[in-house]
C-alpha cells in the first residue's frame, strides 16, 4: 500500500495522522512545507520520501517506531 502526498503545501502532520492506514509501506511527502515530523506506529513502512521540505529539526527518535524502514530520502 502506498500514499503520495507530493506538493500539497503540507506544513504540519499530527503525530498520529497516518496511523489508521494499516499496511502502509511507501509514503511520499516530498515537496511540501514540513518543518518537523514524527511518525508513530507505522510498523510496515519501508520507504519514506521527505525531499524538498523545510525541516528545521529531524530527531532520530521521530523514526524509532519505523522498524521496517529501509529507505529514507
Question: What confidence tens digit (pLDDT) does each residue in 28-49 have?
Answer: 999 999 998 888 788 899 999 9
Query: Cα 68 vs. chain centroid, distance in angstroms?
Result: 13
From 34, 37, 41, select the one nearest 6 (Cα to Cα).
34
Under 8 Å between Cβ of 73 and 53? no
Task: Indicate the average pLDDT of the chain.
Answer: 90
Question: What confidence tens digit (pLDDT) does each residue in 51-60 have?
Answer: 999 988 778 8
Q: Please count the residues of the chain.
A: 73
SS3 assignment, position 71: strand
Residue 69 predicted with pLDDT over 90: yes
State pTM to two decimals. 0.88
SS3 assignment, position 60: helix
- pLDDT over 70, % of the chain: 100
Amino acid at each position: 500500500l502506498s500514499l503520495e502526498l507530493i506538493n500539497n503545501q503540507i506544513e504540519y502532520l499530527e503525530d498520529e495522522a497516518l496511523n489508521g492506514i494499516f499496511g502502509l509501506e511507501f509514503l511520499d511527502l516530498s515537496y511540501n512545507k514540513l518543518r518537523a515530523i514524527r511518525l508513530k506506529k507505522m510498523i510496515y513502512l519501508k520507504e519514506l520520501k521527505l525531499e524538498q521540505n523545510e525541516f528545521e529539526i529531524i530527531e532520530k527518535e521521530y523514526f524509532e517506531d519505523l522498524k521496517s524502514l529501509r529507505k529514507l530520502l
